[in-house]
């Protein structure tokens, strides 16, 4: 029960909801879980068009409620790279995220989704880093953004 309460606190404002309570995947779909909570409390809801949900395993709007492994920070990467490698790595990521967003991610102020972790791994490869690199910290959390 505590996990469900935590999930409710994390629901982003304006999150698209699904009202198909009879869907076989309703118990694990974040859109349906969020709908149940908002249906109790809110007057106005942001709903996905019910005719666009398939109620099947291949529903395009299904979002799993399983926690995802997010990474926080990569300050230690610099210590493990040659200066030229780090310059190229940093330049690639600043071009991708922007300067301020790069440094916020580097310090761990912004958690890195699995997709962003992959972007960073690709930048490491392009910079010529061959040894495996670990992020500063890992956290498990619900991924509300599909």
pLDDT per 10-residue tile (average), the chain, 146 residues: 51 90 92 89 88 85 92 96 97 98 97 96 96 94 83
∠ CA 12-74-107 to the nearest 5 degrees? 60
Structure tokens, 102: 């790069």
pLDDT score recorded for residue 144:
85
pLDDT score recorded for residue 2:
38
Over the range 86-100, which residues count as b (16 or more CB within 10 Å of their CB) and which as e?
bebbbebbeeebeee
Place of tokens 């230690």: 76
Structure tokens, 66: 């399983």
pLDDT score recorded for residue 58:
85
pLDDT score recorded for residue 1:
33
pLDDT score recorded for residue 128:
96
Structure tokens, 106: 């580097």
Half-sphere exposure for 7 (CA within 13 Å, toward CB): 23
């Amino acid at each position: 029960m505590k996990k469900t309460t935590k999930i409710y606190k994390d629901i982003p404002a304006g999150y698209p909801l699904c009202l198909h309570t009879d869907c076989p995947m309703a118990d694990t779909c974040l859109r349906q879980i969020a709908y149940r909570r908002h249906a109790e409390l809110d007057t106005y809801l942001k709903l996905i068009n019910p005719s666009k949900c398939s109620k099947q395993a291949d529903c395009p709007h299904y979002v799993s409620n399983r926690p995802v492994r997010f990474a926080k920070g990569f300050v230690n990467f610099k210590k493990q790279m040659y200066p030229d490698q780090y310059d190229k790595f940093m330049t690639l990521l600043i071009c991708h995220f922007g300067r301020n967003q790069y440094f916020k991610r580097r310090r761990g102020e912004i958690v890195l989704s699995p997709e962003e972790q992959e972007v960073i791994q690709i930048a490491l490869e392009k910079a010529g880093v061959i040894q495996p690199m670990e992020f500063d910290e890992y956290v498990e959390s619900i991924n509300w953004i599909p």
